[in-house]
């Protein structure tokens, strides 16, 4: 780990710094082999999740509330940042265990937590979060997947797309419209073995990870698999995203730190004009701008995590979460682009670390709310606070 000074910031406690050091050492030893070569991301994710489960890191993603553990957003962000710095796919595999089970941690009954979480913590089962649809992405409220009430549960029908872990996931939290009513939504836990659950199409993206369009052909889902009340589906989804948006910022921060490390190492050794690239002031300016972007991102990410951890389980941190995700992902894109520039041709050579980072960062500005969506969220929050202050 290059710059560790942020571990001393007041947003973090000594236990966070200790965890960061231990995870960094574990990741340095294990992640390269677990990730392997690009090309078989399904197998790599299964290996990563199993190893992280055995090493105990997945407890951060799916805490055992009955045993007195808490959903600690600071630990979640630190874990994502560190894993992303080692490999984007390691962060992805960890993050999905959290995103796919966060709704159970936040809204599940003790019985539901006992049913859905142990396999996620141990790394024996993979989780997913199914909100987006072909015609409902940024406008998630336009979803048409429908849950129709029966005597003892629901019949689920519809299609979800861009679903991470689709094709390999064992369980998904699925958001649907209740009885097709315009304003009423519902969150259901769905086992991928349920009759009528279909992986319709695998989707390839520029930084590969398991992803698919999934379909529900009249799946029966028992009432015991409903999270929260009928009508509260969007609340469950948005509360989960409140937690995970800062953690997307944290992952972007990890990618940016790696890009700076790679750029600094290259600038220090690349001979140029009788010295090295790093002697040139235009290079130094880029490195300085990258460092400022990284620190501002870290401040916003850990501010959001601290605000949530301080306020406790039910707290919403909508403004802080949106700011952290917006700034950290946009800044990481800029940091990584500068790193590519410093590397010259090596920055675009397929398979180099910076070329991988260049592909890995792009989707983070789109998923879990595109940057434009985050700006709308922040502006709405500001307008609300302004109206209250008058």
Question: Helices then strands (H, E): number in the chain?
Answer: 12, 10
Beta strands (DSSP E) in the chain are: 127-130, 146-149, 153-164, 171-178, 185-191, 197-202, 211-222, 226-227, 271-272, 275-276
Any contact of residue 260 with ligand FAD (CB under 6 A)? no
**Shorter beta-carbon distance to ligand FAD: residue 26 or 175:** 175
Binding to ligand FAD (CB under 6 A) within 141-170 occurs at 162-164
- What binding mask, one character per residue, do residues 205-224 give for ligand FAD by CB under 6 A, x or -? x-------------------
**Shorter beta-carbon distance to ligand FAD: residue 361 or 363:** 363
Q: How far is the CB of 199 from ligand FAD (least distance, A)?
A: 14
How far apart, in whole angstroms, are the C-alpha atoms of residue 287 and residue 331? 13
In this chain, which of 325, 373, 374, 377 binds ligand FAD, going by CB under 6 A?
A: 373
Q: How many residues are there in the chain?
A: 390
Q: Catalytic one among 8, 133, 368, 385? A: 368
How far apart, in whole angstroms, are the C-alpha atoms of residue 100 and residue 327? 24
In this chain, which of 130, 221, 301, 321 binds ligand FAD, going by CB under 6 A?
A: 130
Q: Are 146 and 173 in contact (CB under 8 A)?
A: no
- Catalytic (active site) residue 368: yes
**Shorter beta-carbon distance to ligand FAD: residue 137 or 167:** 137
What sign has the CA pseudo-torsion 48, 53, 56, 61? positive
Q: Are 96 and 265 in contact (CB under 8 A)?
A: no
In this chain, which of 23, 105, 117, 131 binds ligand FAD, going by CB under 6 A?
A: 131
In this chain, which of 119, 363, 374, 377 binds ligand FAD, going by CB under 6 A?
A: 363
How far apart, in whole angstroms, are the C-alpha atoms of residue 311 and residue 289? 33
Q: Are 270 and 346 in contact (CB under 8 A)?
A: no
Would you please indicate which residues are annotated as catalytic (active-site) residues? 368
Which residues would be at the binding site for ligand FAD (CB under 6 A)? 128-132, 137-138, 162-164, 205, 363, 366-368, 370, 372-373, 376
């Amino acid at each position: 780990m290059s710059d560790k000074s942020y571990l001393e910031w007041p947003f973090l406690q000594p236990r966070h710094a200790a965890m960061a050091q231990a995870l960094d050492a574990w990741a340095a030893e294990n992640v390269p082999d677990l990730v392997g070569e690009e090309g078989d991301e399904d197998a790599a994710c299964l290996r990563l999740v199993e190893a992280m489960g055995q090493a105990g890191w997945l407890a951060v993603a799916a805490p055992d509330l009955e045993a007195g553990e808490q959903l600690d957003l600071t630990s979640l962000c630190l874990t994502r940042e560190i894993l992303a710095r080692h490999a984007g796919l390691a962060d992805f595999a960890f993050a999905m265990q959290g995103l796919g089970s966060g709704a159970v941690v936040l809204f599940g009954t003790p019985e539901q937590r006992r049913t859905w979480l142990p396999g996620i913590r141990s790394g024996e089962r993979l989780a997913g979060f199914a909100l987006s649809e072909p015609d409902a992405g940024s406008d998630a409220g336009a979803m048409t997947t429908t849950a129709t009430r029966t005597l003892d549960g629901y019949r689920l029908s519809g299609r979800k797309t861009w679903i991470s872990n689709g094709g390999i996931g064992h369980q998904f939290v699925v958001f649907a419209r209740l009885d097709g009513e315009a304003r009423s939504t519902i969150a259901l836990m769905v086992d991928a073995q349920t009759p009528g659950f279909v992986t319709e199409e695998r989707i390839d993206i520029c930084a590969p990870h398991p992803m698919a369009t999934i379909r529900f052909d009249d799946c029966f889902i028992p009432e015991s698999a409903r999270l929260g009340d009928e009508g509260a589906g969007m609340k469950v989804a948005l509360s989960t995203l409140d937690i995970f948006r800062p953690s997307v910022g944290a992952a972007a921060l990890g990618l940016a730190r790696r890009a700076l490390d790679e750029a600094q190492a290259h600038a220090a050794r690349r001979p140029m004009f009788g010295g090295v690239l790093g002697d040139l002031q235009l290079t130094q300016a880029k490195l300085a701008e990258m460092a400022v972007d990284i620190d501002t991102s870290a401040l916003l990410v850990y501010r959001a995590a601290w605000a949530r951890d301080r306020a406790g389980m039910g707290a919403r941190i909508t403004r802080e979460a949106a700011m952290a995700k917006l700034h950290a992902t946009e800044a990481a894109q800029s940091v990584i682009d500068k790193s590519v520039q410093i590397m010259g041709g090596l920055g675009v050579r397929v398979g180099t670390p910076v070329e991988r980072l260049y592909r890995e960062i792009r989707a983070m500005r789109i998923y879990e709310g595109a940057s434009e969506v985050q700006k709308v969220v922040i502006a709405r929050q500001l307008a609300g606070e302004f109206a209250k202050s008058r």
